[in-house]
Structure 1
Amino acid sequence: MSEQQQQYWPIFTEKDEIKTFWNKKPINFVKQTISYQQLMKRISWKSNKPTEYEFLLSEEGVLFYKKNNKVKGYVQLNEDISLKLIDLKISNKKADAVKVIRIKRTKDIFLYIWNHDYQYTFQFLKYLCQFCFVQNLDELYTLQDVIGKGGFSKVYTLTPNIRLPNQPFNYAGKVYNKNELLSKKDLKKFYHFIRSECYILKRINFPYVLKLCEIIQLEELLILVTEYIKGGSLYQYLKERKRLSEIESTQILLKLALGLQQVHNLGYVHRDIKLENVLIDKDQLKLIDFGFAEKICRDRLVNGQGTAGYIAPEVFMKQPYQEVGDIFSLGVIFYSMLSGKAPFRSNTYDALLKLNKECQIEFSELRFPNVSQKTMYLLKAMLSKQPENRINLQDLLNQLTVCQILSPTNNMASTQSIVEGSVGISFNHLQSKNTLKSFYQNSQNSFTENHSQMSQQKPSKNLRDRRYKSQSLDKKGLLLKSSSFKPSLKNIYQIKIEQSDDNISITDLDQPIPYENLRFLQTSYQTLNCQKFI
């Protein structure tokens, strides 16, 4: 290995430039939230005499030790501090060799801690792994099957060799090989990419961003241990479904935007948002692969790499890549979900890059059937060619959270929640055929009554403007005739549905709502919330 290569492998090593292990300066211990504490024995690099102390770990990664209920010292843990389980011989007796945790800050400054019960030693190690890198694999995990491959890494399933209570049965391990990584021309760039990815994921604990559990640095391998998502990518999900509904697409977009907000708040941009970098499994959704993530630079373009078809147009103009660059890539995903097709398509890579650069995007109604005008406006704002005209993340979140279709904390909206949330009537009650018929007839009557009342009054200028704005125009600019079917739920809260033996039976309650009736209810819901019709 050349001298230059030695600078970039191992990726993680002890780099603290300190002369003592513990910080002795005063600290406000009361403000610390303790996540784990345990009585442990300690041997330091200065003394071989085992001494028992109480060790405490805060949620922010500060490790304290106390004696007689008084804080003696503390250290802020980070990715430049190593952990390793080793067998340490306490005395000359063979039986005295015990498993200890070595916490190492520099080549010469370290300490050993352990508990007489190995279960507590191992448990403490797992807590410490949240903040440091660890130099053990066999004591922690077993590598299983390959579940994915990247440009310079492979992803394996991992099973814990010692499973703690409430610990998952499986993890995913992104494995980098030393020889493959050192063969890269841009070794320095990849080194910083990996460091940035770990820095970001270690500091984000959010439902819609993949959780990095541990960093395992070995002599020949680097393994990033993450949570395991059983389902596939959003690309696979969309390929099976062809196209997603407006409701589901908007909800996925909101979750991704919330996850992206966490990244931007750290001062980083993702730079490789695409369908393949979103994992989805039932109600779970995770933004993954931060290999191209970098610190936000507003003065110049640091790196022009990205995935063709998702690259923000300003990158081709050598302009700085800022937060709105990620918004453009997010818009490509939103476009693909709503239409079932990518905005840029070609059989060759060069042609795809050219289309991406020109950024001529089709937004025709044929491409987006049953998509509201409000959503189309949002999509166009995300895919604006000029970054200064593109919607920013906060405004995007404001638009999405104001929308009544979903809320940021809910799971995927089910038909049941849609119906109950929009009309305020028990879903079980609606399962009766007669009740549903009554509900439908009343909704139509309410529209007829409201329409007749409105026809007697001269509409205001604002109402006329709104009506013309929402109706479609033909090629000559004339108003097209609106459909005669416009379900209205304005007075639905006032509907009184009588329950009687003739109206509802046990058999009726067990019957699901017919598909065509569900379609009516969903259309009514979208009408109220998306404001596609007036």
Structure 2
Amino acid sequence: MSISHDKGRQSQQGDSHNITAEKLFNPSIEYDDLLLKLKEEFNKVWDTAKTSPDNGLEGFDELATLGAGSFGRVILVKNRQTGNYYAVKILIKDQIVKTKQVTHVHTEKRVLSSIRFPFLIHLEFSSKDFDYLYLGLPFINGGELFTYHRKVRKFNEKQARFYASQVYMGLEYLHGMSLLYRDLKPENILIDSKGYIKITDFGFAKKVETRTMTLCGTPEYLAPEIIQSKPYGTSVDWWSYGILLYELVAGNSPFSPHNKDVMMMYTKICDGEYKMPTFFSAPLKDLIDNLLQVDLSKRFGNLVNGNKDIKNHAWFKNVDWYGLLNQDFAAPFIPRVTNMEDVSNFDRFPDPKPLHRSKTNRHADLFVDF
């Protein structure tokens, strides 16, 4: 798996991942052995986290806004020296401190720096200045899976399996690195130029060797144990995975009929009360039923065989996992992209406004290690 870094920014985020595609994605290599090699690479970077330079977006042209939120915005930039394009997540220091998200932001940067997997977004560079933190990511110009899914309303099971298999491998990799993702939903799955996925937004990711109790995530996708403030581990991601499978094929999430009354929705989630569509195949019904188990002792991904109960399930019977890793198959949907500056697959936003500039370094002590 070769990772192409912008040589003009190597001082900001070097490439420590040297395993080639031939070594990684050769079907003759046992998949568990592959994950072990990937974990070695992950740990090397995780244990040697680097701080970001203080030069902000110096040397970049700001081209368009790709997204906006409470913590800042995501913009498309072009490196003047190399001509390479990136999606840069700009985080407002004041807002991060105000909402007590300092630890989350540090973790997000460290996770993005350390992960390298075909179906996950990764960090190309990072920087900071007096007012903002910057996370430079590959520009995935196909847009969100959510947007495409919304247009067609629902996928057939073959289409859903194509995307769900990649999401499965992404979660399997993260869990193998002792990471919880905790924010799985179609909005956080991007489509690249070949129609394959990239899971993005690691703001809720957390490195956990045992269990945690933090309440975070998107209401419709929350597992019962999160709602009930119980200790949890990777099981919460497999619950969300069950919700995603259901939504891809049904066109709505199993608990969406109650999303206008959050407390009622939480009650239904904790009771595991939802309707299974009659047009789902028997294998899909069985898989979702075993993922959306309120009882953790019965939930797939949390039993003695771990995630293998999911991977070896009948619904995934004919999946060529290595073929997906090597992108050997035509995707159900290929995004229309005219050039590297094409942002037509994203919602329209006004042109980027000049960023506010302070004369003093805001919260410098809290972000000295960023």
TM > 0.5 between the two? yes
Structure 1 residue 386 corresponds to structure 2 residue 295: yes
**Alpha carbons of structure 1 residues 412 and 310: separation in structure 2 relative to 1, 3 Å:** farther
The offset of 1:402, in angstroms, is 5.8
SS in 2 for 1:338: helix
Quote the Cα distance in structure 2 between the aligned partners of 1:78 and 1:248. Answer: 35
Quote the Cα distance in structure 2 between the aligned partners of 1:375 and 1:139. Answer: 50
Structure 1 residue 171 corresponds to structure 2 residue 86: yes
Quote the Cα distance in structure 2 between the aligned partners of 1:246 and 1:306. Answer: 26
Q: Which of 380, 399, 408 in structure 1 is aligned with 2:313?
A: 399
8 Å CA contact 1:173–1:224 kept in 2: the answer is yes
8 Å CA contact 1:283–1:412 kept in 2: the answer is no
Q: Name the counterpart of 1:275.
A: 186
Quote the Cα distance in structure 2 between the aligned partners of 1:415 and 1:161. Answer: 33
8 Å CA contact 2:57–2:127 kept in 1: the answer is no
SS in 1 for 2:253: coil
The offset of 1:250, in angstroms, is 1.2
User: What is the identity, as a one-letter code, of the residue corresponding to 1:335?
Assistant: Y
Q: Name the counterpart of 2:271.
A: 358
The offset of 1:348, in angstroms, is 3.3
Quote the Cα distance in structure 2 between the aligned partners of 1:259 and 1:357. Answer: 26
Q: Name the counterpart of 1:327.
A: 238
Q: Name the counterpart of 2:345.
A: none
Q: Deviations over 1:375-394 (max 9, x none)?
A: 22112111111122111123
Q: Which of 229, 233, 241 in structure 2 is aligned with 1:318?
A: 229
Q: Name the counterpart of 2:362.
A: none
Q: Name the counterpart of 1:3.
A: none
TM-score, L = length of structure 2: 0.70
In angstroms, what is the RMSD of aligned CA positions? 3.0
User: What is the identity, as a one-letter code, of the residue corresponding to 1:59?
Assistant: S
Structure 1 residue 294 corresponds to structure 2 residue 206: yes
**Alpha carbons of structure 1 residues 412 and 142: separation in structure 2 relative to 1, 3 Å:** same
Quote the Cα distance in structure 2 between the aligned partners of 1:160 and 1:79. Answer: 29
Q: Name the counterpart of 2:98.
A: 183
Q: Name the counterpart of 2:286.
A: 377
Q: Which of 2, 16, 38 in structure 2 is aligned with 1:59?
A: 16
The offset of 1:157, in angstroms, is 0.8
The offset of 1:158, in angstroms, is 1.2
The offset of 1:273, in angstroms, is 0.9
Q: Name the counterpart of 2:65.
A: 146
Q: Deviations over 1:411-442 (max 9, x none)?
A: 485599xxxxxxxxxxxxxxxxxxxxxxxxxx
TM-score, L = length of structure 1: 0.49
**Alpha carbons of structure 1 residues 144 and 58: separation in structure 2 relative to 1, 3 Å:** closer
**Alpha carbons of structure 1 residues 409 and 352: separation in structure 2 relative to 1, 3 Å:** same
Structure 1 residue 248 corresponds to structure 2 residue 159: yes
SS in 1 for 2:300: coil
Quote the Cα distance in structure 2 between the aligned partners of 1:203 and 1:183. Answer: 27
The offset of 1:352, in angstroms, is 2.9
Quote the Cα distance in structure 2 between the aligned partners of 1:412 and 1:380. Answer: 31
**Alpha carbons of structure 1 residues 79 and 178: separation in structure 2 relative to 1, 3 Å:** farther
Quote the Cα distance in structure 2 between the aligned partners of 1:415 and 1:219. Answer: 43
User: What is the identity, as a one-letter code, of the residue corresponding to 1:350?
Assistant: M
Which has more strand, going by share of residues? Answer: 1
Quote the Cα distance in structure 2 between the aligned partners of 1:138 and 1:415. Answer: 35
What stretches of structure 2 of length at least 5 have no aligned partner? 6-13, 19-43, 302-306, 333-370
Quote the Cα distance in structure 2 between the aligned partners of 1:144 and 1:253. Answer: 33
**Alpha carbons of structure 1 residues 414 and 80: separation in structure 2 relative to 1, 3 Å:** closer
Q: Which of 48, 53, 56 in structure 2 is aligned with 1:137?
A: 56
SS in 2 for 1:305: coil
Quote the Cα distance in structure 1 between the aligned partners of 2:145 and 2:92. Answer: 27
8 Å CA contact 2:186–2:244 kept in 1: the answer is yes
Q: Give the number of aligned pairs.
A: 287
User: What is the identity, as a one-letter code, of the residue corresponding to 2:69?
Assistant: G
Q: Name the counterpart of 1:25.
A: none
8 Å CA contact 1:155–1:175 kept in 2: the answer is yes
Q: Name the counterpart of 1:199.
A: 110
8 Å CA contact 1:297–1:320 kept in 2: the answer is no
User: What is the identity, as a one-letter code, of the residue corresponding to 2:195?
Assistant: D
**Alpha carbons of structure 1 residues 256 and 408: separation in structure 2 relative to 1, 3 Å:** farther
Q: Deviations over 1:458-491 (max 9, x none)?
A: xxxxxxxxxxxxxxxxxxxxxxxxxxxxxxxxxx
The offset of 1:297, in angstroms, is 5.6
What stretches of structure 1 of length at least 5 have no aligned partner? 1-34, 37-56, 62-75, 82-130, 417-534
**Alpha carbons of structure 1 residues 379 and 159: separation in structure 2 relative to 1, 3 Å:** same
Quote the Cα distance in structure 1 between the aligned partners of 2:55 and 2:160. Answer: 42
SS in 2 for 1:388: coil
User: What is the identity, as a one-letter code, of the residue corresponding to 2:268?
Assistant: L
Q: Which structure's relative contact order is higher, taking Cα pairs within 8 Å and 6+ residues apart? A: 2
8 Å CA contact 1:197–1:291 kept in 2: the answer is yes
8 Å CA contact 1:278–1:285 kept in 2: the answer is yes
**Alpha carbons of structure 1 residues 251 and 400: separation in structure 2 relative to 1, 3 Å:** farther
The offset of 1:333, in angstroms, is 0.7
Pair member with larger Rg: 1
Please list, as runs of the form range in 1=range in 2, the aligned pairs for 1:189-268 lying within 5 A after superposition: 190-268=101-179
Quote the Cα distance in structure 2 between the aligned partners of 1:197 and 1:291. Answer: 5
Quote the Cα distance in structure 1 between the aligned partners of 2:185 and 2:331. Answer: 28
8 Å CA contact 2:46–2:113 kept in 1: the answer is no
The sequence identity of aligned pairs, in percent, is 23
Quote the Cα distance in structure 2 between the aligned partners of 1:232 and 1:58. Answer: 26
8 Å CA contact 1:310–1:356 kept in 2: the answer is no
SS in 1 for 2:220: coil
8 Å CA contact 2:182–2:217 kept in 1: the answer is yes
Query: Which aligned segments of 4 or more residues in structure 1 are displaced greater than 4 angstroms?
Result: 76-81, 411-416
SS in 2 for 1:256: helix
**Alpha carbons of structure 1 residues 316 and 258: separation in structure 2 relative to 1, 3 Å:** same
Q: Deviations over 1:350-403 (max 9, x none)?
A: 3333333332021141xxx2x431222112111111122111123212337961
